[in-house]
């Protein structure tokens, strides 16, 4: 078991596997973030165009007045929700990338190394 821990080939393979996994997760979150951002922009543009073309007929008919208010709220609520999802996926992707960097930096630090309180941890150095 101890030989496997010190085997550089296994360490390299493990590091490559971790890197590929984090890259895949980061790419997935970046893609979802881009999809939701694009969907929010397209939906906001289309809903504004529809609102601008239909507002005259909605103002003329008093029965459609509630539809105008509902459309005005939805015109901003739905794209803002999509933008919030996009920013959430973007933040998750960034945090996954930062966790990969932090894990790689301190990956070689042995678990049995005792550290005194206040002593700075250096990645793998004693």
Q: What is the pLDDT of residues 23-78, one digit of tens each?
A: 888 889 889 999 999 999 999 999 999 888 888 888 888 888 888 888 888 889 99
Name the pTM for this structure: 0.65
Residue 30, token pair as written in the block? 């970046």
Higher pLDDT, 105 or 20: 20
Q: What is the pLDDT of residue 115?
A: 54
Provide the 8-state DSSP code for 108. Answer: T
Task: Tell me the C-alpha to C-alpha distance, in Å, between residue 66 and each of 44, 62, 71.
Answer: 20, 8, 8
């Amino acid at each position: 078991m101890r030989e496997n821990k010190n085997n550089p080939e296994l360490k390299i393979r493990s590091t490559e596997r971790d890197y590929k996994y984090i890259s895949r997760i980061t790419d997935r979150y970046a893609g979802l973030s881009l999809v939701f951002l694009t969907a929010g922009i397209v939906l906001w543009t289309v809903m504004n165009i529809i609102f601008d073309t239909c507002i005259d007929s909605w103002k003329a008919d008093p029965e459609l007045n509630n539809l105008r208010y509902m459309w005005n709220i939805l015109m901003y609520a739905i794209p803002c929700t999509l933008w919030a999802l996009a920013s959430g996926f973007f933040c998750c992707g960034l945090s996954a990338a930062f966790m990969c960097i932090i894990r790689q930096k301190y990956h070689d630090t042995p678990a049995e190394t005792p550290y005194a309180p206040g002593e700075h941890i250096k990645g793998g150095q004693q």
